[in-house]
Amino acid sequence: MTWSGPGGVPTRLLEHLWYTVVTVVIAAAIAVPLGLWVGHTGRARWLVSVANSLRAVPTLGLLFAVSLVVGPYIPGDLAFTAPSIAVLVLLAIPPILAGTYAGIDAVDPSARDAAKGVGMRGRQVLWQVELPNALPLLLSGVKSAMLQVVATATIAAYLGLGGLGRYLIDGLAVSDIGEAAGGALLVGLLAIVLEGVLSLLQRRVVSPGLTGRTARGSQDGDDAPQAEAPADAPVDVRG
């Protein structure tokens, strides 16, 4: 394990981060609109069940199967990268889809009724009422998908994807436990950092009323010492 060159830690780290971000962005572009539609209309709920069933598919077997079937038809280095990214996208879709659907489905019906009562139409209810209330679960699904992709991209290094997984594979191949352990540590640290970034993003974009921060702030304010009246202030003794 080195810190310079094409196999250095910064290069491998950026590769791993790049694959993760690209995968989650593609998966979110597919799963979020689909989850919003299913949750808002109540139609095709079976899609969520079908997507969740993909979690039971063996990851390594799926990677090899897609690479063997699709790889020969793709030229150059994309023969290894494209199938791996496609499989990672398939694995990232279920948690994002489930989180988006669950968030929309959990919105209080009275909030929808109130929005319709003030004249909002279906699309306005979705974007101005349902989506803001669904953000906590939606972002939790994105966070779950992000962590899963970080871990699974390590396995995809078997197919030449690159990234931090190369340290584990190469280290185990030559019995270099230090290199393998270092790669595993870097993967764990990357997952922790990304989870922290998404948690901060969630804190920024989610309404305080949905997270309970407003209520806690009110309680803290209630415990604050009250200002005392001046000693010479007149006292009202009327009944």
In this prediction, residue 212 carries a pLDDT of 59
Domain 9-207, CATH: 1.10.3720.10
Which residues in 178-209 are b (16+ Cβ under 10 Å) and which e? Answer: ebbebbbebbeebbeebeeebeeebeeebeee
The overall pTM is greater than 0.85: no
Which contacts qualify for 56-63: CB closer than 8 Å, 24 or more apart? 59/87, 59/91, 59/152, 59/155, 60/155, 60/158, 62/87, 62/90, 63/87, 63/155, 63/156, 63/158, 63/159
Boundaries of every domain in the chain:
9-207
Could you read off the pLDDT of 114-148 as tens digits, one per residue?
888 887 887 888 888 888 888 989 999 999 999 99
Assess contact for 28 and 99: CB atoms under 8 A.
Answer: no
Residue 131's nearest CA partner among 30, 35, 24 is 35
Task: Give the distance between the most distant pair of CA atoms in the chain.
Answer: 94
Tens of pLDDT, residue by residue, the chain (239 residues): 677 667 788 888 998 999 999 999 999 999 999 999 998 888 888 888 888 887 877 877 888 888 788 877 777 777 778 888 888 999 999 999 999 999 998 888 888 878 888 878 878 888 888 888 889 899 999 999 999 999 888 888 877 777 888 888 888 888 888 888 888 899 999 999 999 999 898 888 887 766 655 544 445 555 444 444 444 444 443 44
- Neighbour tally for 112: CB within 10 Å: 18
